[in-house]
Amino acid sequence: MDTSQYLEIFIDETKEHLQSLSDHFMVLEKEPDNADTINEIFRSAHTLKGMAGTMGFVNMQNLTHKMEDVFSVIRDGNMKVTPDLVDLLFRGLDALEAYQDNIINTSSEGDETNDDIVNALIAMKEGKAPDSAPNNEKSAEPAPASADGAPAASSSDGGDDAAKKYLDITYVDFEKNAIKEAEEQNKNVYGITVYIQENCLLKAARAFLVFKELEVLGEVVKSVPTVQDIEDEKFDLDFSVTLITDASEKEVVSAIKTVSEIEKVTIGKLNIPEIVNDGASKDVDAPKADDSAAPKKEETSKPAAAAAKKAKEDKKAPAKSSSKPVVNRSVRVDIEKLDDLMNQVSELIIAKNGLVSVSESESAATDAQSFTEQIEYLERITTTLHESIMKVRMVPIESVVNRFPRMIRDLSKKLDKPMELYMSGEDTELDRTVIDEIGDPLMHLLRNSADHGIESVERRRELGKPEQGSVWLNASQVGNNVVIEVKDDGGGIDVEKVRTKAIERGTITEEQAEAMEDKDIIDLLFLPSFSTAEKITDVSGRGVGLDVVKTMIEKLNGTIQVTSEHGKGSKFSIRLPLTLAIIQGLLVRVGREVYSIPIASVIESVRVKKSEINTIDNHEVLNVRNEVISVLRLSRLFNIRTNEDGEYCFVVIVGSQDKKIGVMVDNLIGEEDVVIKPLRDQFTQSPGISGASILGDGSVSLIIDVTQLLELGVRQEIEARQESAYE
């Protein structure tokens, strides 16, 4: 039977059932005797088993069948839920998600049978201890996974030097600084090369799991290939990393080998003085006589292996490109929203017929009035139609955040930090385009809170805090924006420490540091070079910093702000537009040009005399109700000729309550719905511009990027303070 036509439905249904299992496993861990939860898990496992069997996914069917058997025994009262069983169930859930990812990418579940999980479930059902320890049990040494069967290949003392590809890594200055700082703190700096089994179908997923294990142990300073290339599967069967950690070699190797399909791990301590002093790391620990022969052996075997791998990936490419985009396009819509949309289209047809009737009328006396009435009618319908379409595109943010409780649960266990995630506002809706992109930034912020925000149990006891840390994820709609907050009750950001580190690394000078306020210092955490070397700015230890989070948020026309109280916690606030397609804009004129400022960012507009704009420290400011606001002239920013001799001008105040800037323009035109059109590549780097729109008269209006204007204003203030300090 050809089941390909049902694949999209299967994937959508599977996602829902796997999320249901994850949610109920979380409840089961806290309430092991909850009969309703046990019944729901049984039903989900039973449904998944039937669906997988129908589609011919035998391995997935077998695993869910064993889960169903276990819960059948539990429902009968012949077995109790234990912490070991819950851990095993989460391992099974991870395996099912891996099957799902493989099906999305290749339309096949792959060859992984997960016999260890299946056998453990059978043993528990029969009341026996599993024959082998679970894969995530780091205390037990796993069976030798290397091709030659020699455990020594996993340590710095064994294995041939050709296998130590980490010796070929080169470093740039900020990476050397991070390594040097690690040496000063008596941390271990390891070079690691990980080899994945040749028959592995999801090598990028395996590599991701390795990074996930390493991020718990320390900080990954360097990855070859890069993290992005690894995620895109642009590598063969091995990759190398440089890890800063307090853990021993044995602990690192054991953590890596908890990931299945790992062929071999080579690890060794790096010679830090040679790295810091521009010595090539390939010379570290390696006798030169052996290096001359080993690379040749690698070079001779590499082309054939690469060619075979490329051929294998080429075969899979069509399936990947044809299935994944289709899955991501689907949106479930309430039938009432579709009915409402259909009604609006009907009204639109009536309006069109009315205009046609007026145009064919022979009575000139009534033409003008009838035409005006029909235009007003059409305007009302198009506005309502726009709102209806936006509602159809809206998706609850729950579809993104529902995977985070499991993530925090896993981090809590691995970091040995008791913590709980509290969520609110999951029913807040966002445009599907925004929903698809917001997941990764939120994940990085939550990992950052768990990793670097929440203190250890011992430290929390010393501070008189509850042993269990708390992380909050709150979402709410404010006007035409959605505000998402990620906060914790951890140690907060030590502003003075950040200030000192920034000076040491040359990010800012001492004079700049003195002129900067605390919030400006905290904003330094979003700089790439700063976040790479300092742990407090590293997100998850995978080389992905807060700078990437900020970039992703700004691509969505959003903003991110940080507030922190040292010793009490931090809060990251993200403000996003409800939709990226159509916004309401305030049209302003500067010279002969017309610009659109998003209404959502406008606080107020004032008409002032130009003489009321004062200069303080070479920086223009305006006093509005005893509040001093920086002023930025669009005419100077965009080099536009304008009438400087007029007595009055308009200042549009944009931003938020805690960060504002006044934008000076010649005139205000009015409000208008603006359809956003992206700019071509040559215009994307224009400061202060986020897009363009075509107005009703056919002219083009550029859309102002308020976020960039705020940054320009802050920069002007800092420069003005510096000049004043020098004087």
**Three-state DSSP state, 538:** strand
Residue 448 annotated to the active site: yes
Q: Is residue 616 within 8 Å of residue 515, measured between CB atoms? A: no
For the chain, what percentages of helix, strand and coil (3-state, to nearest 5) are there? 50, 20, 25
- What tokens were used for 290? 């052996």
d(CA 217, CA 243): 9
Residue 336 annotated to the active site: no
d(CA 402, CA 430): 15
Q: What percent of the chain has pLDDT above 70? A: 78
What pLDDT is attached to residue 588?
93
Torsion angle of alpha carbons 692, 697, 698, 699, nearest 10°? -50
Q: Is residue 571 within 8 Å of residue 425, measured between CB atoms? A: no
Q: Give the model's confidence band at 6: pLDDT under 50 very low, under 70 low, under 90 confident, else very high.
A: confident
Q: Which helix (H) or strand (E) holds 628?
A: strand 627-633
Query: Exposure pattern of 631-667 as b/e (b: 16+ CB <10 Å)?
Result: bbbbbebbeeebeeeeeebbbbbbbeeeebbbbbbbe
d(CA 669, CA 596): 10
pLDDT of 569-614, one tens digit each? 999 999 887 766 677 789 999 988 899 998 878 899 999 988 888 8
Residue type, 640: I
- Predicted confidence (pLDDT) at residue 422 exceeds the cutoff of 90: yes
Radius of gyration over alpha carbons of the chain, in Å? 30
For residues 348-377, give the mean pLDDT. Answer: 71
- What tokens were used for 48? 């998944």
What pLDDT is attached to residue 550?
82
β-strand partners of 538: 545
In terms of phi and psi (left: phi > 0; alpha: psi -120 to 50; beta: otherwise), the region of 47 is alpha
Q: Is residue 624 within 8 Å of residue 640, measured between CB atoms? A: no
Do you find a cis peptide bond into 151, omega within 30 degrees of 0?
A: no
What pLDDT is attached to residue 344?
78
- Predicted confidence (pLDDT) at residue 218 exceeds the cutoff of 80: yes
Q: Higher model confidence: residue 630 or residue 317?
A: 630
What pLDDT is attached to residue 715?
60
For residues 679-694, give the mean pLDDT. Answer: 69
**Closest CA relative to residue 324, chosen from 174, 102, 531, 115:** 102
Torsion angle of alpha carbons 139, 145, 151, 154, nearest 10°? -80
Query: In the 8-state DSSP scheme, what is residue 472?
Result: E
Query: Exposure pattern of 620-629 as b/e (b: 16+ CB <10 Å)?
Result: bbbebeeeeb
Neighbours of 343 (CB within 10 A): 13
**Three-state DSSP state, 23:** helix
In terms of phi and psi (left: phi > 0; alpha: psi -120 to 50; beta: otherwise), the region of 402 is alpha
- Predicted confidence (pLDDT) at residue 411 exceeds the cutoff of 70: yes
What pLDDT is attached to residue 331?
63
d(CA 389, CA 406): 34
Query: In the 8-state DSSP scheme, what is residue 142?
Result: P
Specify burial of residue 365 (Cβ count, 10 A radius: 0-12, 13-18, 19+). exposed
**Closest CA relative to residue 265, chosen from 325, 214, 201:** 214
Catalytic pick among 40, 68, 429, 455: 68
d(CA 226, CA 290): 27
- Predicted confidence (pLDDT) at residue 460 exceeds the cutoff of 70: yes
For residues 282-304, give the mean pLDDT. Answer: 37
For residues 404-413, give the mean pLDDT. Answer: 90
Q: Is residue 351 within 8 Å of residue 374, measured between CB atoms? A: yes
Catalytic pick among 8, 34, 39, 46: 46
pLDDT of 139-148, one tens digit each? 333 333 333 3
Averaged pLDDT of the chain: 77
Q: Higher model confidence: residue 367 or residue 477?
A: 477
Q: Give the model's confidence band at 706: pLDDT under 50 very low, under 70 low, under 90 confident, else very high.
A: confident
- Predicted confidence (pLDDT) at residue 470 exceeds the cutoff of 50: yes
Question: Which residues fall within 8 angstroms of residue 414, CB to CB, at 6 or more apart?
Answer: 216
d(CA 62, CA 113): 9
Q: Which of 11-15, 111-115, 237-241, 522-526 is predicted least confidently?
A: 522-526
Q: Is residue 484 within 8 Å of residue 453, measured between CB atoms? A: no
* Helix 115-125 with 58-75: angle, nearest 10 deg: 20
What pLDDT is attached to residue 193?
93
What pLDDT is attached to residue 257?
87
- What tokens were used for 342? 């259909």
For residues 406-418, give the mean pLDDT. Answer: 89
**Three-state DSSP state, 119:** helix
- Predicted confidence (pLDDT) at residue 724 exceeds the cutoff of 70: no
**Closest CA relative to residue 442, chosen from 402, 480, 493:** 402
- What tokens were used for 46? 């039973």
pLDDT of 616-656, one tens digit each? 877 888 888 888 888 888 888 888 887 767 788 899 998 87
d(CA 707, CA 557): 8
End-to-end CA distance of the chain: 83
Catalytic pick among 448, 485, 557, 619: 448
Query: In the 8-state DSSP scheme, what is residue 534?
Result: -
**Closest CA relative to residue 88, chosen from 119, 42, 49:** 119
Q: What are phi and psi of 465, to 5 degrees?
A: -90, 160
Q: Higher model confidence: residue 109 or residue 341?
A: 109
pLDDT of 382-400, one tens digit each? 878 877 777 777 888 888 8
d(CA 588, CA 598): 11
β-strand partners of 362: none
Q: Is residue 519 within 8 Å of residue 513, measured between CB atoms? A: no
d(CA 440, CA 580): 18
Q: Which of 351-355, 417-421, 559-563 is predicted least confidently?
A: 351-355
d(CA 100, CA 103): 5
What pLDDT is attached to residue 546?
78
- Predicted confidence (pLDDT) at residue 96 exceeds the cutoff of 90: yes
What pLDDT is attached to residue 365?
52
Q: Is residue 451 within 8 Å of residue 415, measured between CB atoms? A: yes
What pLDDT is attached to residue 92?
92
What pLDDT is attached to residue 392?
78
Query: In the 8-state DSSP scheme, what is residue 544?
Result: E
Give all strands (DSSP E) within 308-455, no chain letters. Answer: 394-396, 419-424, 429-431
d(CA 469, CA 449): 10
pLDDT of 159-172, one tens digit each? 456 678 888 888 88
- Predicted confidence (pLDDT) at residue 188 exceeds the cutoff of 70: yes
Neighbours of 178 (CB within 10 A): 22
What pLDDT is attached to residue 76?
87
- What tokens were used for 174? 């900020």
Cα-based distances in Å from 173 to 222, 274, 499: 12, 13, 20
What pLDDT is attached to residue 680?
62
Q: What percent of the chain has pLDDT above 90? A: 17
Q: Give the model's confidence band at 319: pLDDT under 50 very low, under 70 low, under 90 confident, else very high.
A: very low
What pLDDT is attached to residue 212?
84
**Closest CA relative to residue 188, chosen from 251, 127, 266, 116:** 251
What pLDDT is attached to residue 291?
38
Q: Which helix (H) or strand (E) holds 524?
A: none
Residue 68 annotated to the active site: yes
β-strand partners of 56: none
- What tokens were used for 172? 């740039």
Q: Is residue 112 within 8 Å of residue 95, measured between CB atoms? A: yes
Kindly report the pTM of this predicted structure.
0.56
For residues 671-693, give the mean pLDDT. Answer: 71
- Predicted confidence (pLDDT) at residue 446 exceeds the cutoff of 60: yes
For residues 33-42, give the mean pLDDT. Answer: 91
pLDDT of 255-278, one tens digit each? 898 887 888 999 998 888 877 775
Q: Give the model's confidence band at 520: pLDDT under 50 very low, under 70 low, under 90 confident, else very high.
A: confident
Place of tokens 């690379």: 295
- Predicted confidence (pLDDT) at residue 7 exceeds the cutoff of 70: yes
- Predicted confidence (pLDDT) at residue 315 exceeds the cutoff of 80: no
CA-angle at 52, arms to 47 and 53, nearest 5°: 100
d(CA 577, CA 394): 12
